[in-house]
Amino acid sequence: MWQGIKSLFGGKPSREVAKGRLHLVLAHDRTGLDGGRLQEMRNEIAAVLAKYVPIDAEAVEIQIETRARATQLTVSSAIQPRNA
Amino acid sequence: MGRAIVITSGKGGVGKTTTTANLGTALAQLGYTVVLVDADIGLRNLDVVMGLENRIVYHVVDAIRGKCPVQKALIKDRRLENLWLLPASQTDDKDAVTPDDMRSLVFELKINYDFVLIDCPAGIEQGFKNAIAGADEAIVVATPEVSSIRDADRVVGLLAAADVPARLVVNRISPQLVKRGDMLSQSDVIEILALEMLGAIPLDDQVIATTNKGVPAVLEGKSLAAKEFVRIARVLAGQEVEEKSSVGFFTRIGRALGLTASPA
């Protein structure tokens, strides 16, 4: 009931928020990568990608997340059409 | 040869000392010989939680420096025949002892006692390294909060690097808050830390009241927290299989319904 009311107002239960925050924080802790280093890595990866495929280097997204004891690094980027 | 178990958490104030006192007392009630070692040198507290603060003559640093035989530094708990406390020193620093000192002290204790429970200080520095040095296994205590779980995760990594197998005790869980969606559940904590779970201690006013009196909750018996401590002690001793092992109740239901992936 209470959860129902909260979700009506668009609020996630704080338990889910805590879980989400922990998955992110632990990924950073476990890899020893802070935000600055991660952005540095993103920029370098974006530069490498741009050498091979047409991309918007600014729009490359990087994320590390952890489930159980496994940590996953995801880099995602849209590739622009060739004749754009 | 006994077993040495370190109780650790990274973060302070999550219930390491209370867990040490209660599990030790419960193991003694089950008939095992138990020594509780306070490894929090400079900030000792296991003595007051056990209600033995007025009986300290020698302490762990005295024993390590050979100022007295180890046996002489042990305080016998008068409530139970087979329970002892080795208090920390209140006037020394953490670097008054080394991991090697602790390893040989704990080894000596293991010869004569079934269980050596080591109450680890907060933090991951020298005091932590000393406390885990002689341990065969670890109990990581965490409360269902972001800060506590984050610190516990650091400790789990350090224990793994030191080859100390660890199991989890979730402390101060409130079923009402979990149900309302305002507290991480025990299965959430297991999922995040990926540790085998020994048990979850409910948030219980009785623990506060008995600790005020210097009596471990399990000696007063009736509370929910006391019952869970006793159950965990049985699991530790191998008298009971883990009821809520690494796979939580909800995960099992999820698996049964096909909502959660089964392990490979």
Mean per-residue pLDDT, A13-35? 90
Q: Chain B closest CA to A9's CA: distance in Å?
A: 15
> Is residue B262 in a domain?
no
Whether A26 and B194 lie within 8 Å, measured CB to CB: no
Whether B150 and A22 lie within 8 Å, measured CB to CB: yes
> Is residue A32 in a domain?
yes
pLDDT digits (tens, 9 = 90+) for B33-70: 999 999 999 999 999 999 999 999 999 999 999 999 99
Q: Rounded to two decimals, what is the model's pTM?
A: 0.85
pLDDT band at A57 (very low <50, low <70, confident <90, very high): confident
> Is residue A42 in a domain?
yes
pLDDT digits (tens, 9 = 90+) for B133-185: 999 999 999 999 999 999 999 999 999 999 999 999 999 999 999 999 999 99
Q: Name the residue with higher pLDDT: A30 or B84.
A: B84
Count: domains in chain A: 1
The runs of H, that is alpha helices, within chain A are: 2-8, 14-31, 35-52
Whether B153 and A26 lie within 8 Å, measured CB to CB: yes
pLDDT band at A10 (very low <50, low <70, confident <90, very high): low
Whether A16 and B181 lie within 8 Å, measured CB to CB: yes
Residue A67: the pLDDT is 73
> Is residue A81 in a domain?
no
Interface test with A, best of B146, B190, B197 (most A CBs within 10 A): B146
Interface test with B, best of A2, A5, A14, A15 (most B CBs within 10 A): A15
Residue B145's closest chain A neighbor by CA? A18
Question: How many whole angstroms separate alpha carbon B201 and alpha carbon B173?
Answer: 6
> Under DSSP, is residue B141 helix (H, G, I), strand (E, B) or coil?
strand
Residue B177's closest chain A neighbor by CA? A15
Question: How many whole angstroms separate alpha carbon A68 and alpha carbon A71?
Answer: 8
> Is residue B264 in a domain?
no
A55 DSSP 8-state letter: B
Strand pairing class (B75-76; B83-86) = antiparallel
Whether B181 and A23 lie within 8 Å, measured CB to CB: no
> Is residue A71 in a domain?
yes
Per the prediction, chain A carries an average pLDDT of: 84
* High-pLDDT (> 70) share of chain B, %: 91
User: What CATH number does residue B64 fall under?
Assistant: 3.40.50.300
Residue B147's closest chain A neighbor by CA? A22
Those residues of chain B whose CB sits closer than 8 Å to some CB in chain A are 145-146, 149-150, 153-154, 157, 178, 180-185, 188, 191-192, 194
Determine the structural domain holding residue A46 and report its residue range.
2-76
Residue A69's closest chain B neighbor by CA? B194
Q: Report CA-CA distances (Å) from B147 to A36, B33, B186.
A: 22, 35, 15
Count: domains in chain B: 1
Q: Which of A16-30, B9-23, B246-260 has the highest mean pLDDT?
A: B9-23
The runs of H, that is alpha helices, within B10-145 are: 16-29, 46-50, 60-64, 70-73, 99-112, 126-133
Whether A15 and B178 lie within 8 Å, measured CB to CB: yes
Residue A33: the pLDDT is 84
> Is residue A82 in a domain?
no
Question: How many whole angstroms separate alpha carbon B50 and alpha carbon B32?
Answer: 18
> Is residue B75 in a domain?
yes
Q: Name the residue with higher pLDDT: A59 or B162.
A: B162
Residue A83: the pLDDT is 67
pLDDT digits (tens, 9 = 90+) for B122-133: 999 999 999 999
> Is residue B74 in a domain?
yes
Question: How many whole angstroms separate alpha carbon B172 and alpha carbon B203?
Answer: 4
Residue B242: the pLDDT is 62
> Is residue A84 in a domain?
no
Across A14-28, A62-76, B85-99, least confident range: A62-76
Nearest CA to B73 out of B90, B91, B61, B81 is that of B61
Whether A25 and B157 lie within 8 Å, measured CB to CB: no
Beta bridge partners of A67: A70
> Is residue A83 in a domain?
no
Count Cβ atoms below 10 Å from residue B229 Cβ, excluding itself: 27
> Is residue B263 in a domain?
no
Tell me which long-range contacts A22-27 makes (C-beta under 8 A, separation of at least 24): A22/B146, A22/B149, A22/B150, A22/B192, A23/A65, A23/A66, A23/A67, A23/B192, A24/A64, A24/A65, A25/B146, A25/B150, A26/A66, A26/B150, A26/B153, A26/B192, A27/A64, A27/A65, A27/A66, A27/A71, A27/A72
ipTM (interface pTM): 0.81
